[in-house]
Amino acid sequence: MSYALVFRAMSADEFLARVAADPVVTAFRDAGGGEPTPEVADAVARTALAMGEEVGRTGHTSAGGDWFREEVFDGVLADLLGADVADHLLSRNLEGIVWYEYPMVGYVLAGELEEALAKAGDERPGDLDEDDAEVVDAVLAALHKVAAAGQDVVTVYA
């Protein structure tokens, strides 16, 4: 089995408004939120995938999940972009939803993205192994596309 992190350029405000208006999400939020039921998670992920434009994707096999999250996102990308931005690319709490399982949805606002890319500079670290470099390059390429369009980025990790 494999997992993909899909990057979509869109307005986070419009995305969040659609999620907030979804009756399944509203009922979940009103009941106290927390870890989403499969129906809530699917509703949010479907909304994200139906909006905006896909600008990139990357992923891993089921065996590579710890490496992907811990080494690449919590390590390399957290150092490059900042820990909050790297974390928000994998998941971000919204409408009372706290993501623990797949699918997960995240987002980074245009201003946060611009600041993170300025922090990262123009080049990734040169000492990355081939697998790390492939993921980092895919993430940075997607983020630069979103930033060039002046959009927010919404991600679905499933």
pLDDT of residue 55: 98
Report pLDDT for 22: 98
Q: At what angle do helices 23-30 and 12-21 cross, to 10 degrees?
A: 80
Instruction: Judge contact between 88 and 107, C-beta under 8 A.
Output: yes
Number of neighbours of residue 139 by Cβ within 10 angstroms: 25
Q: What pLDDT score does 145 carry?
A: 98
Containing 128, the helix (H) or strand (E) segment is none
Which helix (H) or strand (E) segment is 2 a member of?
strand 2-10
Could you give the residue ranges of the DSSP H alpha helices within 10-81? 12-21, 23-30, 38-50, 65-66, 78-81
What does the pLDDT profile of the chain (158 residues) look like in tens digits?
799 999 999 999 999 999 999 999 999 999 999 999 999 999 999 999 999 999 999 999 988 999 999 999 999 999 999 999 999 999 999 999 999 999 999 999 999 999 999 999 987 888 999 999 999 999 999 999 999 999 999 999 99
pLDDT, position 7: 98
| Phi, psi at 68, each rounded to 5° | -60, -50
Is residue 137 within 8 A of residue 124, CB to CB? The reply is yes
Whole-prediction pTM value?
0.96
Alpha carbon separation from 2 to 7, 8, 69 (Å, rounded): 16, 19, 14
Range of the domain at 39: 2-157
What was the pLDDT predicted at 42?
97
Q: Provide the number of structural domains found in the chain.
A: 1
Distance of alpha carbon 102 from alpha carbon 19, whole angstroms: 17
Quickly list DSSP for 65-103.
HHIIIIIIIIIIIHHHH-HHHHHHHH---BTTB---SSS
The helix/strand/coil state of 110 is helix
